[in-house]
Chain A
Amino acid sequence: GAGVSQSPSNKVTEKGKDVELRCDPISGHTALYWYRQSLGQGLEFLIYFQGNSAPDKSGLPSDRFSAERTGGSVSTLTIQRTQQEDSAVYLCASSLPSGSTDTQYFGPGTRLTVL
């Protein structure tokens, strides 16, 4: 079946612009995660959605970052007023509901470059 998909695969933007990154999780997966992978910081958690529960936003680095998940499926990560330090690969993952297998399945990522 189809895996996690993300779009765009690459995004180049100018400092100060807003960007939106999209994630389509695996069908039936109620949990959705965003991570960021950068050269200096490795792979770090950003935000987690589980069904209709309030999201865990504890990993968001600043209030310029936000995410939403509409209809319990597609998620959009928005970065406002982008800075050069936001350049990274943004990875999305999904998993089955808590209590079953917790394996997280990752998408190919969006490479964001802020000039």
Chain B
Amino acid sequence: KQEVTQIPAALSVPEGENLVLNCSFTDSAIYNLQWFRQDPGKGLTSLLLIQSSQREQTSGRLNASLDKSSGRSTLYIAASQPGDSATYLCAVMDTGRRALTFGSGTRLQVQP
């Protein structure tokens, strides 16, 4: 059974810092990996999707990498802003199954 772990559980940084969120998964037979953002009381917003054949994806100040063989992904946020404050969730889609398995998230607070 796929298990997804995210470290750290919570992170507080001053504005302007670059930061890295970590995600690990136990079964490397994945189809893709997605990073989501969730604001309090809201649904999930997809940030980046990396197919299993890809190594990284970039969108603006966000860069996500994937190392399938070691079961790891990182989300890099450059020049963090207070508006980046949210919970970041990592989720994997296993090969042959469409459901996403989610990590428990990293709660990020960017201090102005």
Contacts and interface: CB of A to CB of B under 8 A. Distances in A.
Interface of A: 4, 31, 33, 35, 42-45, 48, 50, 56, 58-59, 91, 93, 98, 101-109
Query: What 4 A-B pairs have minimum CB-CB distances, sorted nearest first?
Result: A45-B99, A43-B102, A106-B44, A106-B43
B43 A45 contact: no
Contacts of A33: 98-100
Nearest to A92: B43
A106 B45 contact: yes
A91 B44 contact: yes
A44 B43 contact: no
B87 to A, nearest CB: 10
A44 B2 CA distance: 12
Contact of A45 (B32, B101, B103, B104): B101
A43 B6 CA distance: 13
Interface residues of B, number: 22
Given A43-B89, A109-B43, A104 B34 contact: yes
A105 B44 CA distance: 8
B43 A102 contact: no
B31 interface: yes
B99 A102 contact: no
A43 B34 CA distance: 14
A50 B10 CA distance: 35
B102 A42 contact: yes
B43 A48 contact: no
Nearest to A102: B32
A105 B93 CA distance: 14
Contacts of B104: 42
Contacts of A48: 98-99
Contacts of B31: 102
Contacts of A43: 89, 91, 102
A56 B44 contact: no
A104 B49 CA distance: 10
B46 interface: yes
Given A42-B103, A104-B100, 4 more contacts: A48-B99, A50-B98, A102-B93, A108-B43
A98 to B, nearest CB: 7
